[in-house]
Amino acid sequence: MAPPPPPADEGRCGGVSARRVLLGLALGQFVSLLITSTGFASSELARRGINAPTSQSLLNYILLAVVYGVVVLYRRQSLTIKWYYYLILGIIDVEANYIVVKSYQYTSLTSVMLLDCWSIPCVIVLTWVFLKTKYGLRKFIGVGICVAGLILVVFSDVHASDRAKGPNPLKGDLLVIFGSMLYACSNVTEEYVVKKSNRVELMALLGLFGAIISAIQISILEREELHSITWNAGAVLPFLGYAAAMFLFYSTVPTVLKVCGATMLNLSLLTSDMWAILIRIFAYHEKVDWIYFVAFACTAAGIIIYSYKVSNEEEETAQVAGASDEQGKEGDEEAGAHNPAQNSGDGNGSSVYNKEGPSAAGTSRRLLG
């Protein structure tokens, strides 16, 4: 007699072995540190007076196009969706990275890391309207608490004057919020794409069009800035560090989702805020206002409430990696051998491909879902 099929929840963090949980925790903290690293690199460049946000992202897109493009060419398969979807996604992703990285010129690292959580309510609205995702009351309560934490950050930056936080913190905060809205658009688009395609193709085409768009934008907006930069180790290393962290972030997020799901990833990414505070205290020797810790507590509580599993049906809408595996199992298994690329696609709104730088993202942190 054949054994019964595994339960629907098997493979999520709640029903797996301790070893799998520990692996998920370790990978989650690795991704969280990558997001913090992109923020630190952007902050260092801003402190040195280097204002070339599109140039920072160019190398990451080139790496994505080359590494995953080789896999796509090796497969010799035609594209599973139209190329112009990738073009639209590339435009959104490039501009989201540009705006969030630009914000480091005006506000603090800590504010950027907290405010990019605004992607969560934006993703909820977009997935509800366009993907017909259903959300319970508990999730809306969680989002409301998250937003309260974000308001505290903005309030602190506007009214506190005894901290080194940038020349125009309000402008920087607004840029982060707008960039997070673009990340939300990118996440929802990527969720749609990753369900229709496979993650290797997504990363390859996103890298290709992202690199082309970035090159055009650099030629228009950043030529003089690049010429004026003194290319010493202090300028080159943050550029390389940002590109390497973003590439690893884009490549690792789908693996994290596959190991433990979006809920653990959300909670892991949240710790990037605390890593950012530690960098600000020990690397920059800046005073951190107490209200940041209150804002962090609000944001943490909100995301925990939002991520809490109410029903299998709601959680299934958040498992982007699982959905893509079901629809493209063979392609994803081959992609997994090459460290498949970002869900960033994140897309249900549980989480956070910052994004940063991410992307991000963010990475600029990405709120993946």
pLDDT digit string (tens) for 306-356? Answer: 766 544 444 444 444 344 444 444 444 444 444 444 344 443 433 333 333
**Does 368 map to a domain?**
no
Query: What is the residue range of 58's domain?
Result: 15-361
- Has residue 144 got a pLDDT over 70? yes
**Does 142 map to a domain?**
yes
Residue 265's pLDDT is 61
Cβ(235)–Cβ(48) under 8 Å? yes
Nearest residue to 190 via CA among 342, 28, 365? 342
- Has residue 55 got a pLDDT over 90? yes
**Does 217 map to a domain?**
yes
In this structure, of 3-12, 125-134, 290-299, 356-365, the range with the lowest mean pLDDT score is: 356-365
Q: What is the DSSP letter of 360?
A: T
**Does 163 map to a domain?**
yes
pLDDT digit string (tens) for 63-107? Answer: 999 999 999 999 988 888 889 989 999 999 999 989 988 888 888
pLDDT digit string (tens) for 289-298? Answer: 788 788 878 8
Residue whose token pair is 């060419």: 73
Confidence grade of residue 26 (pLDDT, cut at 50, 70, 90): confident
Phi and psi for 10 in degrees, rounded to 5? -65, 135
- Has residue 369 got a pLDDT over 50? no
In this structure, of 156-160, 176-180, 229-233, the range with the lowest mean pLDDT score is: 156-160
Residue 278's pLDDT is 74
82: which residues sit within 8 A by CB, 6+ positions away?
none
Residue 160 Cα distances to 46, 95, 152, 156, 331, angstroms: 21, 30, 11, 6, 52
Number of domains in the chain: 1
**Does 5 map to a domain?**
no
If one counts every other C-beta atom within 10 angstroms of the C-beta of residue 17, the result is 8
pLDDT digit string (tens) for 200-210? Answer: 998 999 999 99
**Does 9 map to a domain?**
no
Alpha-carbon dihedral of residues 257, 365, 206, 315, nearest 10 degrees?
30
Residue 309's pLDDT is 56
Average pLDDT over residues 11-22: 57
**Does 10 map to a domain?**
no
Q: For the residues of 119-132, what is the DSSP string, one character each?
A: HHHHHHHHHHHHS-
Residue 237's pLDDT is 93
Residue 247's pLDDT is 95
In this structure, of 13-17, 51-55, 247-251, the range with the lowest mean pLDDT score is: 13-17
- Has residue 236 got a pLDDT over 90? yes
Residue 334's pLDDT is 46
Residue 90's pLDDT is 94
Residue 39's pLDDT is 84
Q: Which of the pair, 336 or 227, is modelled with greater confidence?
A: 227
Residue 307's pLDDT is 65
Instruction: Report the range out of 19-28, 38-47, 276-285 with the highest average pLDDT.
Output: 38-47
Residue 213's pLDDT is 96
Percentage with pLDDT > 70 across the chain:
68
**Does 2 map to a domain?**
no
Query: What's the mean pLDDT when you consider all of the chain?
Result: 74
Q: Give the tokens for residue 191.
A: 């969720």
If one counts every other C-beta atom within 10 angstroms of the C-beta of residue 355, the result is 38
Average pLDDT over residues 297-301: 81
